[in-house]
A and B are shown apart, each in its own frame.
Chain A
Amino acid sequence: MTSAIQQLLANLPPAIQVTDPDVLATYLTDFRHKYTGCTAAVLKPRTTDEVVNIVRACNAHNVPLVPQGGNTGYCAGATPDDSGDQIVISLERLNQIRHFDPDNRSITVEAGMVLSDIQDHCENHGLLCPLALGSQQSCQIGGNISTNAGGVNVVRYGMSREMVLGLEVVLADGSVLDTLSPLRKDNTGYAVDQLFIGAEGSLGIITAATLKLQSLPKQRFTGFLAVASRQCLPKLLSDIQAETGDLVSSFEYMAADAIQHLLNKKPEHRLPVSSGHRHYVLIELGTSASKLPLTDLAEAALAEQIEANIVLDAAVASNEAQRAAFWAIRESIPEGEVLNGASVKHDVAVSVSNLPSFIDQAAGIVTSTGPGCRLSIYGHVGDGNVHFNVLCPEGSNEIDHTWIEVNLSPHIYELAAKMHGTFSAEHGIGQVKLALNAQYGNAKKQALMRDIKRALDPNNLMNPGKMLPLG
């Protein structure tokens, strides 16, 4: 332990320090087990004041901080480096509801509150917290906001950014920016709190947020579709939106291979429609209007698509258990990849209209350049976002993840760039995608980001080496 860290810890209450090496270990490796760092202690503040004290002490002793939420991020943004000079600050104990205002449809929560707990609280009071993603039982709202998480409801409700009305942030100098506001309109200057959304802890530590809530759906329609081709996906979604009055909340594409990897290892999942198709979609519609004939609308819209041979087969969940079984398939696809040796992920977005042709061309690259490589393609079609993931050939010694990263990934990202897309749609930069950002990111934007970082964090204490390269 460096003497700076020793002095820092001596100045902080022991009750918020964890130093047991076995406990520390769980905070030091990223979710995908690709990066492991080192730290002398994990700090677990219980109040914003304790966060302030930590940041002040870090300034005094020049110790950099790595904020951590649920540690479910895909870009190792919450993992410290291996120098041992950085301190991890976990927000998990800062997990209270500060204010719930059903008439204003807003809730103010502390950063460490687990997303599913917020969802449950709102639901118990007849409102919807619309952010939903596979990791919701462990990720924290502070982490969601810091990564501007997307998830499965973006097509209806937007990314995390869209639900943030205001934030409380402890800045790098230990001062507090409090914009926790129930206001929907407040044109009084730069939208500074927007800077912290998606900043991955590089500008300050989010300690609380006011979130905008929605009406709780009273009816849902959940369908599992087999679809004729990828090309028809954008129009299929847009037709169903038009037919139903924009009630689609999820439209999740899954290529047959992505599902098959899962079924091979976990046969307890059951494909809800006939097998042998190449493209599947999980569609969900919802409305809070209990008198609206949602099921009739959705069935009629889908029947037209069946008539037109766009939808080849469709199963409809007739109860919540079946709905859960449909979703379990979609949400277990990442697990299916892990059980098949894990994947190299490409979290690409292009315009919705370009999505099918991006996937087709990228798949062509993999087939021609990476013999035997297996694909796991799925994603949020309505957001133009595809998880274009590549698995090693079965039993191959020559082709490993590094081979894929060196020989395939650049072509996939090159293709995305050519189609005016992005190499990181919802997963962020962290430490995983720094080089990609240097190569494909917008240079002027990055120059401005460096200026902002210097202005807000001149001593580079806030999650250094994440989002922006060191130096």
Chain B
Amino acid sequence: MKALVTCKRVLDPYIKARINADGSAVNLDNVKMAMNPFDEIAVEEALRLKEAGSVTEVVAVSIGGPKSEETLRQALAMGADRAILVESDQDIEPLAVAKVLKAVCDEEQPGLVLMGKQAIDGDSNQAGQMLAGMLNWAQGTFISEIKIDGETANVTREIDGGLEKLSLKLPAVVTADLRLNEPRYASLPNIMKAKKKPLDKKPLADMGIDTAKRIEIVGLSEPAERQAGVMVDSVAALVEKLKTEAKVI
């Protein structure tokens, strides 16, 4: 069975996001980018399924600019077999992402699509669900465990207040949550090998997909700066401040 894994290039989550002066977007010039951490978990799981013999080929796919090749090379260095870059110079919306991935699935015919539960930039949490809908495949979202058993994938979902176990008929779309695994480090010998693995590039413009924007971003703002704490001299002073300043008692 072939597994398709999605890898989005996003702002490194360790870096403090800053908004452009005009408030229109997060500044991505000259800042450190990285693979979406949930996608990294998805790649790791695909590799583990391959090592367990459930998957025979792992194909990494990314939609993005030329630099997204680095993100795909990382997936290849982790152990993916080959990669597809859908070249797009604009950041497309979740619906368009799902349409593009649907086209890739039609061509590649994977038995399993592994995705991150969301990308940490837009935090939309939509692409996986929409892709499953378009393909009319089973879906398991927010998964913390997956086992392949013949024609089914048994997954555990992390839901509010507990865990839900589902049996999905393959082919299926699953999206990874944080606790699914801890991704491996890329070793230098594998990084060198990854440079020679096949990476196909397809211009998005050639795919005949309508990716027009449907959502208008009205504005972005940074979270309010946290106020520095103050030391109070006595319990009485604390109570006084809680009453008059914090107004919580």
Which residues of chain A have a CB within 8 Å of any CB of chain B? 218, 223-224, 270, 272-273, 290, 299, 302-303, 306, 311, 313-322, 324
Q: Pick 8 A–B contacts, CB within 8 A, sort by A.
A: A223-B188, A303-B192, A311-B188, A315-B188, A318-B34, A318-B186, A319-B35, A320-B14
Note all chain A residues with C-beta closer than 8 A to B77: 318
Note all chain A residues with C-beta closer than 8 A to B57: none
Q: How far is the CB of A44 from chain B (nearest CB, A)?
A: 13
CA distance in complex: A319, B186 (Å): 11
Query: Main SS of chain A's interface residues?
Result: mixed
A299 and B186 contacting across the interface, CB-CB below 8 Å: no
CA distance in complex: A214, B196 (Å): 37
Name which residue of chain B comes closest to A298, CB basis. B188
CA distance in complex: A301, B30 (Å): 25
B188 and A270 contacting across the interface, CB-CB below 8 Å: no
Known: A218-B30, A270-B182, A290-B30. A320 touches B15 (CB 8 A): yes
B14 and A318 contacting across the interface, CB-CB below 8 Å: no
CA distance in complex: A299, B189 (Å): 9
The listed residue (B12, B32, B35, B188) touching A316 by CB distance below 8 A is B188
Task: Produce 1/0 per residue, B189-214, CB < 8 A to A.
Answer: 10110000000000000000000000
Starting from the known contacts A224-B185, A270-B182, A316-B188, 14 additional A-B residue pairs (CB-CB under 8 Å) come to A218-B30, A306-B188, A313-B188, A314-B187, A314-B188, A316-B187, A318-B34, A318-B35, A318-B186, A319-B14, A320-B13, A320-B15, A320-B34, A321-B37
CA distance in complex: A223, B182 (Å): 19
B30 and A315 contacting across the interface, CB-CB below 8 Å: no
Note all chain B residues with C-beta closer than 8 A to A290: 30
CA distance in complex: A321, B12 (Å): 9
A299 and B12 contacting across the interface, CB-CB below 8 Å: no
Q: How far is the CB of A119 from chain B (nearest CB, A)?
A: 14
Note all chain A residues with C-beta closer than 8 A to B30: 218, 290
A315 and B185 contacting across the interface, CB-CB below 8 Å: yes
At the interface, yes or no: B74 with Cβ under 8 Å from chain A?
yes
Q: How far is the CB of A193 from chain B (nearest CB, A)?
A: 33
CA distance in complex: A313, B185 (Å): 12
Note all chain B residues with C-beta closer than 8 A to A306: 188-189
The listed residue (A218, A272, A299) touching B185 by CB distance below 8 A is A272
CA distance in complex: A68, B192 (Å): 50
Note all chain A residues with C-beta closer than 8 A to B15: 320
B192 and A299 contacting across the interface, CB-CB below 8 Å: yes
Note all chain B residues with C-beta closer than 8 A to A314: 187-189
Q: How far is the CB of B19 from chain A (nearest CB, A)?
A: 15
B188 and A302 contacting across the interface, CB-CB below 8 Å: yes
